[in-house]
Amino acid sequence: MLLPTIGIEIEVGWSAYFPQEFAKWFDNGNRTYRDFSTLERNEFDKVCTKLDERMLPQLEKVSQELGLSRGKDPYWEFVFPPVFDIETTLSSIRILEQQKLLPLGIPHSLHITIADIISDTHSSKLATWLEILAGVSSKRLKQGVHSQDTSFSAGWARRGNRGMRQRPASELWLGAQQAVEFRSLIVPNTLIEIQELLLFAQRFGGVVRDIQNDIQWNADISIWQELNLVLEKALIPHDLDLHADWGNPHIEVDIWDRYGKFLDVEKDARNLRKQVDSYNLYPPSSE
C-alpha cells in the first residue's frame, strides 16, 4: 500500500528576510509597531514599501516556478502541494534555501498535513514525535495559546486537540477523503533534519492510518509500538500519560507546562532522537 500524501506550509516572517532592519527598528524584538511614534511609523512604512518592491516579486516568481501557492499568513507563506514522493518537496526546499528565500536556523512555523488519517490518540502520539524531531520548545507551544481569550487558541491553534486540525475532503487533493494538519511544528535547522522529519511523518503517518483501519500487516507497526514505549517511559518523570486526554491548555495549564518543560530538556530529546536513529529509518541524505 502506498504511503499517505504529505503537504506542508512554511511561514517566513519579515524579520527573517530583513534581519538588519528588524534589529534597527524593533530592537531585536524588544519594541513593537505600537511603540513607534507617528513620525517613525511613516518612515518605517516607506522603508517597508521599498523592501517589498525588491522582495515580493522574487518570492512570487520563484513560488510560481516551483508550483507553490502563497498562504495567507505574513510575511510570506510557502504552501507546498501534497505529494506521494517527498523528494519533490525537498527539492523545492533546497532551491528556496539556495536562493536565500528560506533561511535556515530560524524557527519558521511549519504545518504538516498527512492524508488518510483522523485526529485521535494514535495521531496524537505522532504529533508528540514530530514536535520532538522538529525541536519544538515550550516557547513554541505558548505561541498557540491566546494570553487572554480562553475560548480559543491563537497562532497554530487548537492546542486542546493536540495542535491538530482535522481537514475534510473538500480541502484536500489527490482524492484524499480526510487528513490531519499538525500545526505546532517548526522548521528544523538543517536540510538533513527537514528530510528526516518529513520521512518520519509520512512513514509513521502510514502506520497510524493502518492502525486506525485495523490493518495489522504493516511491518513498521512493531517499530512504532517500541518507539512509543520508550516515549512513555521518558514522559513518566514529568507525570505525563501519553494515552490520556491532556485537555485545553487554558484549563489544564499544569499539564501543558510540564510537557513544555519536557520538550526543553535537551538530554531527553537527544536520547529520543537517538532511539529513532537506531532503527536506520532514513536513506542516505542527498544534501
Residue 157: predicted pLDDT: 45
Confidence of residue 224 (pLDDT cuts 50, 70, 90): very high
- How many residues comprise the chain? 287
Task: Give the pLDDT confidence of 109-144 residue by residue, as tens digits.
Answer: 999 999 999 988 899 999 999 999 999 998 888 776
Q: Cell 518543560 maps to which residue?
A: 261
User: Average of pLDDT values for 180-202?
Assistant: 95
Residue 272: predicted pLDDT: 95
Residue 75: predicted pLDDT: 93
Confidence of residue 104 (pLDDT cuts 50, 70, 90): very high
Least confident of 8-22, 94-108, 213-227, 243-257: 243-257
For 169-236, list the strands marked E by DSSP.
178-186
Nine-digit cell string for 84? 506521494
pTM: 0.92
One-character DSSP codes across 129-146: HHHHHHT--HHHHHHTS-
Residue 150: predicted pLDDT: 55
For the chain, list the strands marked E by DSSP.
6-12, 69-70, 76-83, 109-115, 164-168, 178-186
Mean pLDDT of the chain: 89
Task: Give the pLDDT confidence of 3-40 residue by residue, as tens digits.
Answer: 999 999 999 999 999 999 999 999 988 999 999 999 99
Task: Give the pLDDT confidence of 145-190 residue by residue, as tens digits.
Answer: 656 555 555 444 443 466 788 887 778 877 788 999 999 899 999 9
